[in-house]
Amino acid sequence: MIDAHEKPLSDHVALVTGGSRGIGKAIAQKLAGLGSAVAICARDATALQSTAVALRAHGDRVHLQVANVTNPLDISALVDSTEETLGPITLLVNNAGIGNPGFGAIQDKSESDWDQVLDTNLKSVFLVSRAVAPRMIQRRRGDIINISSLAGKNTFAGGAIYCTSKWGLQGLSGCMAEDLRQFGIRVSVICPGSVFTDFSGRGAKDPSKVLTAQDVAHAVAMVALQGPQSFISEVHLRPVSKP
């Protein structure tokens, strides 16, 4: 029998986009360790299979699916299959995102660069949330956690496209929160600083002066475990040591 104190998310079903590696993988493992059933999606089938092995160490309530979260048909199939396999989604983590080609001076970037970053980092959150939210509204229960960045709060040279995608995500998240809170659904946004992953960023990082993927996963767990009457709307996550 599952101990509710040791597995406080045992009655939850989480969908984590971009869940095959890096921050998404850490989030999926953290939620599984807390007892949640977990569905992950990504474009890389091999990476998904590898992560699924780690998730199944916490139990068999795991679903994986190759999906492009910028494609509405893929998203519809993902949400349907997740709920058919695991049950109603109670926790959506919009984590899928890319860095490059979002970095570089604006005069050097192409329309294709813009479309690729905005579609992945912003449009995908709209599309996946739009697919899941009506089901949560019907059940009057759910948490949506969007993984943004401190780049959504600050500007820097060479960050025009990436910052735009994250500033847009801040606005989308705030409006979603106001639209959905009347139905008992909480929308939160987590803004990490630099994280040590294979994410294509702005250059080499000193591991001692940046966050880990597990730090972000811990913040997601904190939001998921908040009391039923509380609403953590935004989390800023910084390394202790300045880069």
- pLDDT per residue as tens digits for the range 55-65: 999 999 999 99
Mean pLDDT of 173-201: 90
Task: Between 209 and 228, name the one with better pLDDT.
Answer: 228
pLDDT tens-digit readout, 139-183: 999 999 999 999 999 999 999 999 999 999 999 999 999 999 999
Res 206: pLDDT:
77
Phi-psi region of 22 (alpha: psi -120 to 50; beta: other; left: phi over 0): left
Structure token digits, residue 164: 């735009």
Q: Which residues are catalytic?
A: 162
CA 188 to chain centre: 11
- Which pLDDT value is given to residue 208? 76
Q: What is the model's pLDDT at position 209?
A: 82
Domain residue ranges in the chain: 13-237
pLDDT interval class at 133 (50, 70, 90): very high
Name the class of domain 13-237. Answer: alpha beta
204's torsion region: left (phi>0), alpha (psi -120 to 50) or beta? beta
Does residue 2 surpass a pLDDT of 50? no
- Looking up tokens 């709060």, which residue turns up? 153
